[in-house]
Structure formats: C-alpha cells, structure tokens
Chains A and B, each alone.
Chain A
Amino acid sequence: MMDRSRWMNIRLAVTLVLLITGGWVLSAGADDDERDETAYGREQGEYHARGKPHRESHEREGNERGERRSDLPVPDGRGQPEFKAAFEAWKAECSSCHMAYPPRLLPTDSWRALMGGLSDHFGTDASLDQETVDRILPLLEQYAGRRRSQAGTGLVLRITDTRWFRHEHDEVGSAVWKRPAVGSPSNCMACHAGAEQGDFDEDAVRIPR
C-alpha cells in the first residue's frame, strides 16, 4: 500500500501535467462562441456610423432615426471585421432549424424582441446562453431593415406577418403555400433559391409544383 504523502506527490505531479496541457488544449479548442471577443468588443460602439446608404427596392422607406446602415444584402463577416465573431455566431446558431433569415427582413425592434424570447421561439426552445445572445443582437441591429413592423397593432415577430411581405405575395394563392414542396410561407428557399444570400429578385422566383 502506498503511504499518503507519496500518493499526494503523484497526484500533484499529475495535476501539474494536466494543468499545463489543459491550458493549451482548452484555449486552442475553445468553442466558436469564445473566439474574437476582444476585437468585437472594442469596436462595438462604432458600428452605427459605418454603414453605407441602403439601396434595396423594397426597403425604400427611411429609417426612423435617420441612420444609414450597410447596403449588403446579408452580413458576410468580411466587410466589417468587428462583426466577424458576431457573424460566425449568427450563422452557426440561426441556421440549424431553418435558413438564416437576412437581418434586413425585420426591423430592429422585432429582432430585439425575438432575441429576448428564444426559449419560446415560435413554439420551440431555441434558447442560447446570454453571452451568445449579446454577441448576435448587435449584428441584427446593424443590418436590420428600416421599415416599421406594425401590421395593424403591436410588434411583428414574423417576417411573414409584416405588411410588405403580404403585399409582395398577394398573388400567391393559399393552396400554393401548402404544397408539400413549399410547406409554409416561412420557407423562402422553396421559391427564392438565393434567399440565403439575400437575393429575392422577382425575376428569379420559381414556385415549385
């Protein structure tokens, strides 16, 4: 049988080895969520000043606050290095159950409400830790659409409940939405193949049979 002090020595040595390798392994293999935090945090205060004029045809209306935002159809994480970590988190977390809806399809208020209620997200649990929520929301705010979201009364959380969506699709019959290849209006990709790249050009629309 080993005596107690020898056992403690062995345990200490093992701990030291683990300590050193652990420091490396855990910092090298850290989850996506943990990367680039500093770069993002440093620039966070500046983002409102950076966007270029918005050119989208269905987004003609002015921003309530008169700010100019990016004209990219979807954030791509390249143009604005301070959003790289936010972009990666958004892409990873918001595209696992459906396509990542381009942020300009909803206004800031809707994104804020949506990100505040992820544990009951349209009837499903899409909860995220607060750190990840705080990382994604500024990206959505930066690229948000500039239309107000009211459809009648209250805040609209669904793109498909906005007034502009109904207007653009008023010629699509209710039977079409229910076709198996479509499923529901939320499934943009069924008819707009470039939806994930932010391309909703009417000339490229193809309604599946």
Chain B
Amino acid sequence: MSYPIRFSVAGMVVVLAAALSGTPSLSRAETPSDFLAAFEAGARAADSGFAGFSAARGELFFNKTHGREWSCSSCHTARPVQSGKHARTGKSIDPLSPNANAERFTRSKKVEKWFRRNCNDVLGRECSALEKGDVLTFLMAVKP
C-alpha cells in the first residue's frame, strides 16, 4: 500500500512536543522494544521501586482469569505463537507473539485500542504499565 508523502504540521507539533518535554512518546513506537521502553517509563513513574519486567509474571497474568469469564489465553491460547480463536465467535486470530507474527506491536494506535478493550473484558479495568510490560516480555520470550 502506498501512503501519500506530505509534510504534516501536526506531525511536527507532536515531535516538537515530545522532543521538548523529553518524555517517551507512544505515538512514535514502531517495534516491540519501543513499546517495552514506553511501558517501562510508565511502570517507573507509577512505582519508583520498579525492578524490571518478568516473563514468568506475564505468563501467569496471561493464563489466569481475573474474576471474569475470560483470560487472555481464552482467545490467544496459552502458547501465543500459535493462532488463536475468539472465545465467543470462533473467528481465528493470528498469533499474538511478535516472534510468530511480525505485524504485532508495530502500531501504537492498534496496540492501545486492543489493550483497552481486552483488559476491560478480562479484568474490568485498564491494564497497568507493569502488566502490559510483563505480558509483552512474555510474548517476546515465547519460542515458535
């Protein structure tokens, strides 16, 4: 697909704001590592004692239910390098791990939208930066 290349004032303003404030901007993230860095900044801001993400904690979070019907693995499977299946509709879902699906964690708008929706369905609230970082660390660690 080809995108029209044009000079965008809005783009400049976003970058200007990000550059001057010195905070990591989610809207620039393009790779899973960029997301990880942004989640880390968020986790650190929430808790000065933050001591790194954990794949094991992420895996646990991913596979258990949180007081409602579904876990993340209900739709994405417990081995998210495999294709999943929507727990209600049965529609197939491409693997969630970036190790098996290069399109994952490359577009911040998409990532934010699905974290918002899926965390709300599974936990009845937003996920914290720590939870997102743990899950992503797990997703980046699972081997195909």
Taking Cβ atoms with an 8 Å cutoff, the residues of A that contact B are 14-15, 18-31, 33, 35, 96-99, 119, 123-128, 183, 186-187
User: Are B15's CB and A125's CB within 8 A?
Assistant: no
| Residues of A contacting B109 in the complex (Cβ-Cβ under 8 angstroms) | 31, 33
| Residues of B contacting A29 in the complex (Cβ-Cβ under 8 angstroms) | 3
Q: Interface size of B by Cβ–Cβ distance < 8 Å?
A: 31
Residue in B3, B89, B110, B116 whose beta carbon sits within 8 Å of that of A187 in the complex: B89
B1-44, CB under 8 A of A: which get 1 and which 0?
00111111111101110111000000100000000000000000
> Which residue on chain A has the smallest CB distance to residue B117?
A125
Extra pairs beyond A24-B8, A125-B118 (19, CB < 8 Å): A15-B16, A15-B19, A18-B15, A19-B15, A23-B15, A26-B14, A26-B15, A27-B4, A27-B10, A29-B3, A35-B3, A96-B91, A98-B86, A124-B117, A124-B121, A125-B117, A125-B120, A127-B116, A127-B117
B90 on the interface (CB 8 Å rule)?
A: yes
- With A19-B16, A97-B89, A98-B91 already in contact, the answer to whether A28 and B117 are too (CB < 8 A) is no
B107 on the interface (CB 8 Å rule)?
A: yes
- With A14-B19, A19-B15, A22-B14 already in contact, the answer to whether A124 and B8 are too (CB < 8 A) is no
> Which residue on chain A has the smallest CB distance to residue B75?
A97
User: Are A26's CB and B11's CB within 8 A?
Assistant: yes
